[in-house]
Chains A and B, each alone.
Chain A
Amino acid sequence: MRFFLLSLRNAQHNRNRSITIAMFVGVSVLVYLLLNAFVSTAQNKTSEAITDSLLGHVQVRPNTDDVAPIIDMSADWGTSNHFTSTQVDTALDVFDRLTNVEATPVIRLNMLVGQVSNETTVRDGGEQVGVVAIGFRGEIDHYLQNLKLETGSGLGSGHNDEVVLSSSTASKLGVSPGDPVTLSAEAINGTVVTLRATLVGIGDAQSLSGFEDNLAYISFNVGQQLKGLAQGEATEVMAFGNSIASAKSLRGNVDETLGDEFLVTDWTTQGGFISGISTAFTGIFYVFLLILMVIVCILIVNMVAGVALERSKEIATLRAIGYDKTRIIMIFLIEVLACGAAGAIVAALLAWLIGAALRTHEFAVGSPADDVIGSTFTLHYSPLAGLPGTLVILMIVGLSSLIPSAQASSRNPAEALNED
């Protein structure tokens, strides 16, 4: 392997060309690292918002024919599908035995929130707002990671029947924390149930505002009453794992144990159109990166082809003294990769410095991205997060040097030696 010395010496000898290759690769890596940090920060923020405020990491629902992703344009939160108290206990028991994560019964439903004109009745002709609601037990507060309370408190503040509304819903109704509101929903037997609850908190979603403007959090017993469920029954069981990355294995463990009557899903398949929007933004990033890499590849191919032409006598000499084609290709490859790696290291250092400088800066996010990732954005740069992508860039650079170097090494050495 010592013949790689020639690669390094060539890189050293042709300083301008080496710097150019290093710059191409360095700029690509820098752009990639910073964009990747932006995209992964945004994606993490969205994913955490989805799991914290809407889905948890794993969901267990009745296994019926009409199951759609929970957050989907076609999802029906007014469905009559639900678990009996025995099924809820079975699911909770499985989580308890197999995992150390927090599982809780949940009620999902569609409902109307209305103003109360006096202590007992809905105001005639008063404003009513349709919302989707999740009924949590009072001790569950994951949703507050994404729903930043403006006034009041979260569920479990001491009232029996509690509701937390988004600021836009509260504003439409003209209500404040402490005010009574009426909640109406269709129960599983088809009757409309109306009851009075106390608005305990108003908040705005940091991410997913496009969805959470119409989302309300209600106490679990309110959900049960509105849905017409008996004590212990629930529409589903939700579990909050240790991280979004561990959701799949958590789902797998639980799914293996629970019977066919249970449908076990994880957040990655239940995000519906919200996950779709997030994926679209990520896709745009990768398309941009692909275009950048195509440009870099063309430049590298051209440059190596030029070098190969310039060094045709040197290559022929190496062939004459016993170097085979593979070794000659390797000499070019190592030369290009050494320059590329130097550029990548400089770029990684620069990206780290920029990432550190931007760590405290809050970027304003414009429409429509703000509906998904929130109106402000703070970059979280992780040096290791970009490592796999950087290696892929270097691999692409190496591959793009293979074609011209393979052509150069395949030339008849006798012909190349006789050229002027």
Chain B
Amino acid sequence: MISVHGLTKRYALGSTVITAIDNVSLDVRTGEFLAVGGSSGSGKSTLLNIIGCLDRPDKGTVVIDGQRTDQLSEKRLNSVRLNNIGFIFQAFNLISSLTVYENIELPLLIRKDVSADERRTRVNTFIEKVGLADRRRNKAHELSGGQRQRVAVARALATRPGIVLADEPTANLDSHTGIEVINLMHQISRDENTTFIFSTHDPKVMNRADRLVRLEDGRIIEIVDNAGRDVSIIDKIESAGKYTG
């Protein structure tokens, strides 16, 4: 369970202060598949970074599984990221010098509670799950965009986190591959009871979410339950052209 309340984050750009997130409050249920929609600059990435303990809010609170993370020390935040949160990035952010197997193994290498056998089992399990068993020895540059994002999904899930945060995971993929990756994430979310929060401006991706949170100028302007089932909402969003890249 994630609960953010009164979240505000401002950035200084020269002499100008930009409010990236403005008094945002939101609860996310365990196992929920939540989309955060909005145009570029609406505050999606900032919200995900704060929930993911990569950034701190100027105001407001973030509670993850009963623990306030906005007040934790840097050391504790590292621990939260390692044990509780998985990240998927728009540009995949795989380590180019490592193979598929090693990239997925990377977060597990610093988990003291995971034995070498357990590590191997988990990596192999997730390689199978994302369908890259025959690519385990390939390096990132030898993979297609969709395959790279699958590796990123497997890496995010390898530590068995309660929460996976995906910032525009389909933005660098064609629409077909993007849907495939979202479907994969959705399936894993169901299988592992993992909370997924992903930002997107692609309506086709949004309609896979259990719930859609729309941001504009750092504020939540709309929350839509079962967005995928209400085709009219997606059509409305699409026709308004607010979310097209």
Contact = CB atoms under 8 A, between A and B. Distances in A.
B106 A414 contact: no
A317 B45 CA distance: 15
B81 interface: yes
A412 B107 contact: no
Contacts of A318: 106
Contact of A321 (B74, B79, B82, B91): B82
B83 interface: yes
A314 B95 contact: yes
Given A13-B96, A412-B55, A413-B54, A3 B75 contact: no
B52 interface: yes
B93 A317 contact: yes
Contacts of B82: 321-322
Interface string B77-91: 011011100110101
Contacts of B52: 320
B81 A320 contact: yes
Given A3-B109, A320-B81, A324-B75, A414 B97 contact: no
Nearest to A320: B87
A317 B52 CA distance: 12
Contacts of B97: 6, 9-10, 12-14
Contacts of B110: 3, 322-323, 327
Interface string B104-148: 001101100000000000000000000000000000000000000
Contacts of B89: 317, 417
A95 to B, nearest CB: 60
A367 interface: no
A414 B167 CA distance: 12
Contacts of A2: 109
A166 to B, nearest CB: 68
A148 to B, nearest CB: 61
Contacts of A314: 93, 95-96
Nearest to B155: A321
B187 to A, nearest CB: 22
A414 B47 CA distance: 11
B180 interface: no
Contacts of A3: 106, 109-110
A418 interface: yes
B49 interface: yes
A185 to B, nearest CB: 79
Residue in A2, A5, A317 with the greatest tally of chain B CB atoms within 10 Å: A317
B98 interface: yes
Interface string B159-194: 100000000000000000000000000000000000
A413 to B, nearest CB: 5
Nearest to A325: B74
B75 A321 contact: no
A380 interface: no
A273 B240 CA distance: 92
A137 interface: no
Contacts of A417: 49, 54, 89, 93
B22 interface: no
Given A314-B95, A414-B55, A321 B107 contact: yes
B102 interface: yes
A319 interface: yes
Contacts of A320: 52, 54, 81, 87, 93
A313 B87 CA distance: 13
Contacts of A322: 78-79, 81-83, 107, 110, 159
A54 to B, nearest CB: 61
A319 B54 contact: yes
Contact of A313 (B54, B93, B109): B93
A29 to B, nearest CB: 26
A321 B87 contact: yes
A323 B82 CA distance: 7
A318 B95 CA distance: 9
Interface string A319-363: 111111001000000000000000000000000000000000000
B148 to A, nearest CB: 13
Residue in B45, B54, B102 with the greatest tally of chain A CB atoms within 10 Å: B54
Given A321-B87, A413-B54, A6 B98 contact: yes
Contact of A9 (B54, B75, B79, B98): B98
A164 B51 CA distance: 91
18 contacts: A6-B106, A9-B97, A9-B98, A13-B96, A13-B97, A316-B93, A317-B89, A320-B54, A320-B93, A321-B86, A322-B107, A322-B159, A323-B78, A323-B110, A412-B55, A414-B54, A417-B54, A417-B89
Given A314-B96, A320-B54, A414-B46, 14 more contacts: A9-B97, A9-B98, A10-B97, A12-B97, A313-B91, A314-B93, A317-B87, A321-B82, A322-B81, A323-B110, A414-B49, A414-B55, A417-B54, A418-B45
Interface of B: 45-46, 49, 52, 54-55, 74-75, 78-79, 81-83, 86-87, 89, 91, 93, 95-98, 102, 106-107, 109-110, 155, 159
Interface of A: 2-3, 5-6, 9-10, 12-14, 313-314, 316-324, 327, 412-414, 417-418
Q: Which 5 A-B pairs have the closest CB atoms?
A: A322-B82, A13-B97, A414-B55, A9-B97, A414-B49
